[in-house]
Each structure stands twice: as structure tokens, then as C-alpha cells.
Amino acid sequence: MSDSKTIDEAAWRARLTPEQFRVLRQHGTERPGTSKLNAEKRPGIFVCAGCGAELFDADTKFESGTGWPSFFAPLEGAVGTTKDRSLFMTRTEVHCASCGGHLGHVFPDGPRPTGLRYCMNGVAMRFEPAA
Ligand SMILES: [Zn+2]
């Protein structure tokens, strides 16, 4: 996976759907309530739609009421964060640590035990049910 960062834009366009490309590579945001992952409640792992890296365990998913899949903690080392000062506010952007693809944002208003809410774009992930 570590060579994923070197894949250029044309290659990303070829391997992603237009909506996945818009979110993962252009920091887009899907319309709330549009991801089928919102309703996903089975045990399993949410993986990056860009590179397949494992991001979130279904155990950490919770219903935030926002219309985006939300988690209180990522898998260890799975995501990175940067300060995002667009839209006239400072938010913390979340991306895949393996390929750099944009996933969503993290906010300090989540449930226990972390108090964090990882507000993710469902289109940026795939769900792999536990065997
Ligand atoms: Zn990735």
C-alpha cells in the first residue's frame, strides 16, 4: 500500500467512481443521508475505498443523527489529521494514513469513551462484514 501516494491523478480517476474521486482526492463532501453505510450495523471493518486500508471497526460506529457514518475512534494508526480552515471555520480534516485520501472531519462532541466524532463520507469507505 505504501506506494499508493505515488499514484497520480489520472490513475485515481481510473480506479475511483466520480463521486469517490470528488471526495477522496478533492476533499468533497457527500450529501448527508445518501450513504448506505449509514444503516450498516453488522460487525466488520470499514476500509478505505481508495486503497483498501482498514480504517474503523464497526464496534466504534454510532448513530450521530447527522446523515454521515460516524465513529468514536479509528483503528490505531489508520488515519491522519490536518487543520482545515476552509468555510471560514477551523475543522480537523481526517484522511487515510495509507493513501492520503480525504475521509471527513473529526469533532470534539462524540460519545464516550473518546468524546470524539469521526464524521466520515460513506463513499470514501467500503464495508467488509466479519466472516
Ligand atoms: Zn486509503
- Residue 122, domain CATH: 2.170.150.20
> Looking at the domain assignment, is residue 3 inside a domain?
no
Distance 85 CA to ligand 1 centre (A): 23
Distance 99 CA to ligand 1 centre (A): 4
> Looking at the domain assignment, is residue 73 inside a domain?
yes
> Looking at the domain assignment, is residue 1 inside a domain?
no
* Residues forming a β-bridge with 71: 61, 118
Task: Please report the DSSP string for 16-68 in residue order.
Answer: S-HHHHHHHTT---PPTT--GGGG--SSEEEEETTT--EEEEGGGEE--SSSS
> Looking at the domain assignment, is residue 4 inside a domain?
no
Distance 114 CA to ligand 1 centre (A): 23
Distance 16 CA to ligand 1 centre (A): 12
Neighbours of 116 (CB within 10 A): 19
Distance 101 CA to ligand 1 centre (A): 5
Return d(Cα 17, Cα 109) in angstroms, integer.
31
Catalytic-labelled residue, pool 48, 51, 99, 119: 119
pLDDT digit string, tens, across residues 19-44? 999 999 999 999 999 999 999 999 99
pLDDT digit string, tens, across residues 61-96? 999 999 999 999 999 999 999 998 877 778 999 999
How many domains would you assign to the chain? Answer: 1
Q: Is 119 a catalytic residue?
A: yes
- Answer yes or no: is pLDDT of 2 > 50: no
> Looking at the domain assignment, is residue 35 inside a domain?
yes
- Answer yes or no: is pLDDT of 129 > 80: yes
> Looking at the domain assignment, is residue 36 inside a domain?
yes
pTM (2 d.p.): 0.90
**What domain range is 92 assigned to?**
9-129
> Looking at the domain assignment, is residue 97 inside a domain?
yes
> Looking at the domain assignment, is residue 112 inside a domain?
yes
